[in-house]
Amino acid sequence: MKSVPAHLCLALGAGGILLAAVTARPQTQPLGHATDFTSESYFEAPHERQIKMRLSGAEALPLPGGLLDVRQLRVETFGEDGKPEMVVRAPQCTYAPLDGVANSAGRMEMQSGDGKFRVEGEGFLWRQGASSLTISNRVRTTIDLPVLNATAS
Amino acid sequence: MKKILFPFLILFGAGALAAAQTNAPVAKTNSPPTQITSDTADFDLSAHQAVYRGHVKVVNAEVKLTCAWMLVDLPSAGGHLSNIVAETNVVIDMTDAKGQTYHVTSAKAVYAYKTEGVVTNETVTFTGKPRVETATSTIDSEPMIWDRTRNKFTFIGPNMISRESPGAGATNASPLKLF
């Protein structure tokens, strides 16, 4: 489990039967869907017990081409010390399990583990392997941290 | 003069200064959050970096900054902002506690925060035809470096045009004595 990429875990978590059906007959109507799924990937040794990323969703509907229509996507990343780093949420996205890529034209939001760094926007591309997120429209970042008063003379 | 760019530090130092051990006489406060808006953004969660592109605008209680491109090294939880780079048509408008307005332009502005032992270095470096305009003067320097830790503002080859005496005409003089 520790070395299994998260997207493969998701594929398993979303239901082997579902994925098998999609893979075997990519041009046909999918047979089923998964609900409340979660997948996790882990750091390499010596932190192999620590979760690096957790991807979850409320529902995954199969789409042609081996894609998944994921509802209530939630991606959590963690540091090697186990502390949460970032949480990405989107009400809907299209996910390619084998490529580890998710995208959507809809809204998304992201925030740091302590909640003091928040981002929202419209339209995104999440590359799981590179842990990169591109937001394509109306990006708004809020940094809620203490600043300094001008007391210098 | 050293007050001129202080609000700029506030902008670039939001979060970076939370636990700073500097010699500067500063105080923490809970201010409204800093807002950054842009057309697009790329976040590298492994490298902890964010790159904002297109109509980048940063606003907090004291400062407005616009530019075309901005890179931010994202701090870990409770950590410092250590590096911010703003590029292309950098424009900063700010007002100090006395109501004095400042208009700063440059091609590039870099905020850097670094701690080595008990020594903290915190600077903002402006390059690319930096200019500071106030109600009474305009100062050009290439580059402009503001040492936040020492509250020292350094001009290289400065040129100042004073407008303090309306009707007397603009003059060119070294502003170094002011700083």
pLDDT at position A129 is 84
- Give residue B128's pLDDT band: very low, low, confident or very high (50, 70, 90): very high
pLDDT at position A102 is 92
Q: Do A140 and B43 touch (CB under 8 A)?
A: no
pLDDT at position A145 is 64
pLDDT at position B81 is 78
For the residues B77-91, what does the mean pLDDT come to?
86
For the residues B131-160, what does the mean pLDDT come to?
83
Q: What is the pLDDT along chain A (153 residues), one digit of tens a residue?
A: 344 344 444 443 444 333 333 333 333 334 567 889 888 889 999 988 899 889 899 999 999 999 999 999 999 989 888 889 889 999 999 999 889 899 999 999 999 888 888 999 999 999 988 889 999 999 999 987 654 333 332
pLDDT at position B23 is 42
Give B14 to chain A, closest Cα distance, Å. Answer: 5
Give B169 to chain A, closest Cα distance, Å. Answer: 30
Mutate to test the interface with A, among B43, B63, B153 (most CBs of A within 10 A): B43
- Domains of chain B listed by start with CATH number: 6-130 (2.60.450)
pLDDT higher for A49 or B71? B71
pLDDT at position A73 is 94
Q: From A142, which residue of chain B is nearest by alpha-carbon distance?
A: B35
Which are the contacts of A30, defined by CB distance < 8 A and separation ≥ 6? A18, A21, A22, A61, A62, A63, A64
pLDDT higher for B169 or A57? A57
Chain B: which residues have CB within 8 Å of chain A?
A: 2-3, 6-7, 9-10, 13-15, 17-18, 24-31, 33-46, 50, 52, 60, 62, 74-78, 96-97, 151
| pLDDT tens, position by position, B16-46 | 333 333 344 344 456 688 899 999 999 998 8
pLDDT at position B78 is 65
Residues of A in contact with B35 (CB under 8 A): 140-143
For the residues B2-22, what does the mean pLDDT come to?
36
Q: Give CB contacts under 8 A, 24+ apart, made by A13-17.
A: A13/A37, A13/A38, A13/A39, A14/A60, A14/A68, A14/A97, A15/A60
3-state helix, strand, coil in chain B (%, to 5): 5, 55, 40
Asked if A116 reaches chain B (Cβ–Cβ under 8 Å), the answer is yes
Q: From A144, which residue of chain B is nearest by alpha-carbon distance?
A: B33
Mutate to test the interface with B, among A148, A149, A151 (most CBs of B within 10 A): A148
Check residue B8 and give left, alpha or beta (phi > 0: left; psi -120 to 50: alpha): alpha
CA dist B94 and B59 (Å) reads: 10
Question: Which of A146-150, B12-16, B148-152, B173-177 is most confident?
Answer: B148-152
pLDDT at position B30 is 61
Asked if A68 reaches chain B (Cβ–Cβ under 8 Å), the answer is no
In words, the CATH class of domain A6-143 is: mainly beta
pLDDT at position A144 is 79
Residues of B in contact with A43 (CB under 8 A): none
Q: Do A119 and B43 touch (CB under 8 A)?
A: yes
- Asked if the model's pLDDT at residue B47 lies above 60, the reply is yes
pLDDT at position A58 is 95
pLDDT higher for A86 or B154? A86
